[in-house]
Structure 1
Amino acid sequence: MKDLQHLFIRNTTAGTIIRAFRTNFHITQKEMSEVIGVPETNLSAIENDRREIGVDLATRIGAFLGIHPSLLLFPNGQEAEIKKHKMIIQKAKRLLDKKIRQTG
């Protein structure tokens, strides 16, 4: 369980979560990769934050770990992702407001 305790800190990654769960239960990358159907090298890259995780893989890994895929897609919560993209949200809002004024 000690491997899982550090997951409750900010700025964690999907790779950190996956590795913590996997090592906590003494599962090798090879064993896990065979079950989820991805090459071991891909799993290693994800665990070492060298590869992004998409919806399909998050769903497969989540099923394996018994967790919801959103925990892997948004390891720091959706609010953290929204804050990270605040500038995009502001620009999109201004653009949409402008388009609404033009059409209506």
Structure 2
Amino acid sequence: MEQQALRNLDTAKKITGLYEQIKAPFTEVLSSKWSVKVLDFVFANPIFKNNGLSKKCGFSTQNAARFSKGLLSAGLIKVSMEPSGRRGVMYSFEPLLELVRV
């Protein structure tokens, strides 16, 4: 149990470090007052769709699409599932997912 607790603590420290490391690139790419809110959303929801981003952060779906496109172009997020029919594109924030995968 002690080893598991130590691994969890180490993972938490890595997540905090990743957050601090990625904050500047997010802010630079998005160039918006919403940058930190989007960053917080992505850390809470490392797999997401634009409609979830817009609902949770309180801005339009057009802004969500613009932010996602910018982050995707900068290589900060990836497409995890292409759109199909009525289902929208699903994005993932792989650096965080890599830290939490078991």
Q: TM-score, normalised by structure 2?
A: 0.28
The structure where strand makes up a greater share of residues is 2
The structure where helix makes up a greater share of residues is 1
Q: TM-score, normalised by structure 1?
A: 0.28
